[in-house]
Structure 1
Amino acid sequence: MRVAIVTESFLPTLNGVTTSVCRVADHLLDGGHQVLIVCPSPAPTSYRGARVHTVPGVTLRDFRVGVPFPDLSKVLADFRPDVVHAASPFALGARGIAAARDLGVPTVAVFQTDMATYLSQHAGTASSAVERVVWHWLRRVHSLADLTLAPSATCAADLERHGIPRVAPWGRGVDTDLFRPRGAADTATHELRRSLAPQGQTVVGYVGRLAPEKEVHRLAEIADLPDVALVVVGDGPSRAKLERLLPRARFLGYRQGAELARAYAAFDVFVHTGTCETFGQTLQEAMASGLPVVAPARGGPLDVIRAGVHGHHFDPDRPGALQEAVCGVLADPLGCRRMGAAGRQDALQRGWAPVVDQLLTYYGRVTHPAYDRRVAI
């Protein structure tokens, strides 16, 4: 199959969209499929032998945004794709879907970033108006796609509530070879652990972008717990403010690959703070690392984390709820180990190979001559 992936984000920018696109491309290429990637510049000219076509981009609040361009139709026509995969379409992806429809090429749109909430959080008093405008645009973009894939049941319900048609579920995979429990870790991981908790404290960690929409300020509730070392992994525009808010926390900065895996393995408990996640990839990475997880009872975490099995949910609207949930985990060491083990076992069933196989099934569905978008899911 020939697959054109039009993505709002790609290397060297590292985020959830880029990771998902790379893993999808990896498994497609391993399976003998041909792949074209269209993304904002700057970017590599190829990825594992697949051509990467870049378009002009602008930077908005640390994000690289591709500028839609009229030649995209020619780029797609020259590649002759069987299907166009639009990753988190908003600007460039919207143009990709429209160009594909003009060419008669089936499209699958992957909803990944809650742009309505993200942009409204930065709009001040105009937040409600901005959210309405963005949802109007998203409805228009996704209505053009033959199928929209949602990463969680909560997200799918939200999309349907906003009038987006033809929504189907599609989660994310996790690399269980990279992310492993501390018992399987290397010497560097154990050394990191000793540096983070020199007096044998319990290490409670967060991993993610340090930006307002991630609501990392919630960690203030647990910053002063006795015998707890709070560790923050990530970077972003809120870092300086968070360092002032959490003076006792250890900030490790941005990490990826083996260094990121070591950070997870050095934790005892993982805490997620954001309430606007469509999925929550860091939750899966923490589970694969054998950690109990504490996360808001809202959005993607409701699908990923089973309360009492993998960790605990907390009510993000009730002050003190995060601290109660974390203290509840810490007070039960046996339960903590049990939840970590259960998370690891669950993560082992969430590899990228079956996730991409399901995606190929969706590709097959929209490219089938009998597919009728008027009566689809």
Structure 2
Amino acid sequence: MVTSEALPNGFTHDNDDSLRILLFAESFPSFTSGITRRFKEIIRRLAKRKHYIHVITGCKNASLWLEGNDYLQEYVTFSILPSTDFTNKIDCACPFLFPNTAIYFSIRRFSPDVIHIVEQTPAAMLCGAFAKSLNIPIVWSSHTNIDFYLSTYIRSYAVKMTRCIYQYIRLKHLIYSSINLTVSQDFADYMEHTGIPRPVLVWKTGVDSELFHPRRRSSSMRYRMFGTLNNFTYEQMDSITLFLCVGRISPEKNFEFLSLLLERIPSETFLCIIGDGPYRHILEPLFPIDRVYFFGYLGGEELASAYASADYFIYASVSETFGQVYLEAMASGTPVIAAEGGQLKEFFINSEHGYLWEPDNIESAEQAIYLAMKNRDYLSIKARQQALKHSWDSAADQLNNVYYNAIKKTTQHKETNIIIILFRLFYYGFHWLICMLLALFLMAPFVKVSSPKSTMTQNNNFCRKKQQMYMTAKKCFSSR
């Protein structure tokens, strides 16, 4: 028997009652990222619980996701606001939604029980100010390690200052939240270390283990992953070890390290890169066409087939807060070879599900590949078994409980007095404006938009110097 609980904010909810959830997410399908894949899966499951969900987003084609699904069309609605993709300037992780007073009116029209805000962009923070003005419970989830990205997109002499400013701005807004979420314990610990109120909860991540499955291995997909320029025979493509990398093509993903790594491993190996981004046209010529194929974008069953048809999944990025691609590869029975990072602590055991290398260490990466190539069948079985422990149902159940707990933490009614609302709008709006001015005058002037070719040249020189030192030391040792 389900009991009803009277909450201090005046709401009365059973754990099975439907909620009105407003989701502020600048990135949403048709944009492709780990974040959008997460919310697609979660929204499907929240709708099945008969929760009404209104999404404010800057993705112009977001509503197309509902087509053909009557169930979602009944429970999910959208406000599509103006945005830009910065296609040829900055490789953003998501479309940038302009700060807009329409956000406030969308909130008032929908009258949500709880507002879920994703990331800390200017528009997201404005949404937080509006929610706080109306005294609506806020759940704020952080998925991107902006602190790390600043070292890529800010001039080196200003990184320390801009990081402090960003952390201050983030703190001033995340203290509005009833509950703060992130997707790995490593990043949660880091956020708490920078002053975000404890605890920052770790929101579980899942994987569709029916879509991403070893049975989707396909000879025809495998042959497509070699491209058409090299005219490999079927026998050659079956015998060559095929590595797969899936991700947005941008500087922080560290693709240039993979080009160095290819020089160190046998020629009977091939790399297929699935993904796209504004830096692809610059990065692509830097890779040897006889060893690498840039496939472009794949999704759905084709992407699942590509995962399963590769021999290994390889990834050099250390900027992930979780990295959905690792779990998708593991669910497909494809062992992971990757740079070691805090996000992998959640689900990955070195030598059980694949092998990790020390970041920026070419010798360590080479060794990880050789170890993995000795043990593929064992790693494949263990990787699949581990991935099966992570489900979207469990992640949706957790978020469902988070929403109810956020409502319980709100100590007053949703504010309706227009005088109080106007005062709060001025107060929280002024705080937001000061923070944006700080960002505009003390962060924006130091943004750099560097070509990955220059970044690669620097990293190549660094890694090659390390290689030369290693070879010199090796010769000295052998001569003794």
Same fold (TM over 0.5): yes
1:170 aligns with 2:203: yes
Greater strand fraction, Structure 1 or Structure 2: 1
How far off is 1:148 after superposition?
1.1
Q: Give the counterpart of 2:323 among 237, 260, 280.
A: 280
> Which stretch has the larger CA shift, 142-151 or 221-230?
221-230
Equivalent AA in structure 1 for residue 337 of structure 2: V
1:365 and 2:397 aligned: no
The counterpart of 1:340, out of the listed 380, 384, 405, is 380
CA distance in 1, matches of 2:272, 2:59: 33
> Kindly tell me: are residues 70 and 306 of structure 1, through their superposed partners in 2, closer, same or farther at Cα, counting changes over 3 Å?
same
- 2:242 corresponds in structure 1 to 203
Matching of residue 109 in structure 1 with residue 167 in structure 2 = no
Shift of 1:124: 2.4
Please give the alpha-carbon distance, in whole angstroms, between the structure 2 residues aligned to 1:262 and 1:178.
9
Structure that is richer in helix per residue = 2
User: Could you say what secondary structure the match of 2:149 adopts?
Assistant: helix
- Distance of 2:272 and 2:108 partners within structure 1: 49
CA distance in 1, matches of 2:238, 2:388: 33
- 1:241 is displaced (CA, Å) by 3.4
- Cα–Cα, structure 1 residues 54 and 338, in superposed 2: closer, same or farther, change >3 Å? same
CA contact (8 A) 1:7 1:92 kept: no
Contact 1:156–1:169, Cα closer than 8 Å, also in 2? yes
2:351 maps to: 308
Mapping of 1:1-377 within 5 angstroms?
1-45=19-63, 47=66, 48-49=72-73, 50-60=76-86, 61-63=90-92, 64-125=95-156, 126-166=158-198, 167-181=200-214, 183-186=215-218, 188-189=220-221, 191-192=223-224, 198=237, 200-224=239-263, 225-226=265-266, 227-247=268-288, 248-330=291-373, 332=374, 335-368=375-408
Letter in 1 for 2:148: T
Deviations, residues 282-311 of structure 1 (Å, cap 9, x unaligned): 001000110111122223123232112111
Q: TM-score when scaled to structure 1?
A: 0.91
Q: Is the 8 A contact 2:307 2:329 kept in 1?
A: yes
SS at match of 1:232: strand
Which position in structure 2 is the counterpart of 1:375? Answer: none
Give 3-state SS (helix, strand or coil) of 2:359's partner.
coil
**Structure 1: tracts of 5 or more residues without a match:** 373-377
SS class of match (1:198): helix
Provide the aligned length of Structure 1 versus Structure 2.
Answer: 368
Question: CA 1:316/1:72 → structure 2, altered by over 3 Å: closer, same or farther?
Answer: same
**TM-score, normalisation: structure 2:** 0.72
How far 1:168 moved relative to its partner? 0.8
How many angstroms does 1:201 deviate by?
0.8
C-alpha contact (below 8 Å) 2:242/2:269 kept by paired residues: yes
Relative distance call for 1:100 and 1:180 in structure 2 (3 A) is same
Higher RCO by CA contacts (8 Å cutoff, separation 6 or greater): 2
Q: Is the 8 A contact 2:34 2:325 kept in 1?
A: no
State the 1:193 CA deviation: 6.3
> Radius of gyration: which is bigger?
2
Instruction: Select between 268-277 and 95-104 the one with higher mean Cα deviation.
Output: 95-104
Report the Cα distance in structure 1 between the residues aligned to 2:137 and 2:33, rounded to whole angstroms: 27
2: distance between equivalents of 1:115 and 1:194? 34
Compute the displacement of 1:153 (Å): 1.1
